[in-house]
Amino acid sequence: MASGIPASTDAILVADHILVRYETAEGPITAVDDMSFTVRPGEFLSVIGPSGCGKSTLFNVIGGLLSHHQGMVSVDGETISGPHKSIGMVFQEESTFPWRTVIDNVAFPLELVGMERGKRAERARYFINMVGLAGFENRYPGELSGGMRQRVSLARTLASEPKILLMDEPFAALDEQTRLLLGDKVLQIQQELKQTTLLITHNITEAVQMSDRILVMTYRPGKMKRIVDIDLPRPRTSEIVSGEAFGRYVAQIWSDLREEASRGMAEAESNALHHDSETP
């Protein structure tokens, strides 16, 4: 079941002994504690953990937006030092540019590298179709729903054709049904493009639905607790959630997570008590 780190010869992303430590008013906090793992080309890897376990910190480290950490991340053998052109990020928060139309949003990365106008529009349309927003090219994000806006963000990142798609809880703000349908969409895209994907999430169903492997993190300081191979057949759709094998995987991961999540809750409660008793 739990396999160790697979043969690093065919890994496209290698995270090596990542350690992130902060200074806070209450003393040093270790957000990520010596994590190492690899991602194979075309693989869908989810990193799952309770709130506060440091998974968003990990997202920022791999995305190159966090520089003071120990350890190294490499893509195709090249160590990264800042955002890498082979890694595309999709953020958790609303990140579409409200002043640009859908097509201008999606074409943004193409604009940055100086692609000429006609080619940009064509490329952008391709990805807009892929996320199912054909016909909405000239709308502004303000006219769309939350789920549609996240699809625009996804299309924008895909348009830069990254080798690795890195997503931080992109569907966290959406309702369950929208999330399942969007999950289908992402699966479809991933399978079509053979896109290597690293998904950060706290949602077990989502992780099991979409992943080839799941990496379970402990509560802060975030360490690797377990790696689970998901042996569900591909191609998959959201219908898989009603299967028996699916349920077993979810239960297995929940039993790992519950322990960590309880630790998190207990610590939050003791912090609240501690602060209360300090106020005069």
* Residues at the site binding another protein, with contacts judged by CB under 8 A: 22-25, 29, 31, 51-52, 56-57, 63-65, 68, 82-83, 85, 87-89, 91, 93-95, 97-100, 108-109, 111-112, 132, 136, 139-145, 147-148, 160, 178, 181-182, 184-185, 268, 271
Distance, CA of 152 to CA of 106 (rounded, Å) = 7
Question: Toward another protein, which CB reaches closer, 17 or 85?
Answer: 85
- Locate all alpha helices (DSSP H) within the chain, ordered by sequence: 55-63, 102-106, 108-112, 117-130, 146-159, 176-193, 204-210, 244-278
| 3-state per-residue secondary structure call for 50-78 | CCCCCHHHHHHHHHCCCCCCEEEEEECCE
Question: Toward another protein, which CB reaches closer, 106 or 230?
Answer: 106
Peptide bond preceding 235: is omega within 30 degrees of 0, i.e. cis?
Answer: yes
- Minimum distance between the CB of residue 231 and another protein, rounded to whole angstroms? 27
Distance, CA of 256 to CA of 251 (rounded, Å) = 9
Q: Output DSSP code: residue 24.
A: E
- Minimum distance between the CB of residue 265 and another protein, rounded to whole angstroms? 12
Question: Toward another protein, which CB reaches closer, 228 or 257?
Answer: 257
- Minimum distance between the CB of residue 220 and another protein, rounded to whole angstroms? 8
- Minimum distance between the CB of residue 60 and another protein, rounded to whole angstroms? 9
- Minimum distance between the CB of residue 147 and another protein, rounded to whole angstroms? 5
- Minimum distance between the CB of residue 81 and another protein, rounded to whole angstroms? 12
Question: Toward another protein, which CB reaches closer, 122 or 267?
Answer: 267
C-alpha separations of 110 from 81, 103, 162, 210 in Å: 22, 11, 12, 28
Give strand pairing partners of 199. Answer: 46, 167
Question: Toward another protein, which CB reaches closer, 2 or 126?
Answer: 126
Question: Toward another protein, which CB reaches closer, 84 or 213?
Answer: 84
- Minimum distance between the CB of residue 73 and another protein, rounded to whole angstroms? 14
The answer to whether 85 and 74 are in contact (CB under 8 A) is no
> If we measure between CA atoms, which residue out of 264, 278, 179 comes closest to residue 217?
264
- Minimum distance between the CB of residue 16 and another protein, rounded to whole angstroms? 22
Question: Toward another protein, which CB reaches closer, 4 or 114?
Answer: 114
At residue 150's C-alpha, the angle toward residues 246 and 97, to 5°, is: 165
Distance, CA of 274 to CA of 210 (rounded, Å) = 40
Question: Toward another protein, which CB reaches closer, 22 or 126?
Answer: 22
User: Which three-class secondary structure state does DSSP give residue 213?
Assistant: strand
**Consecutive H or E run containing 20:** strand 13-24
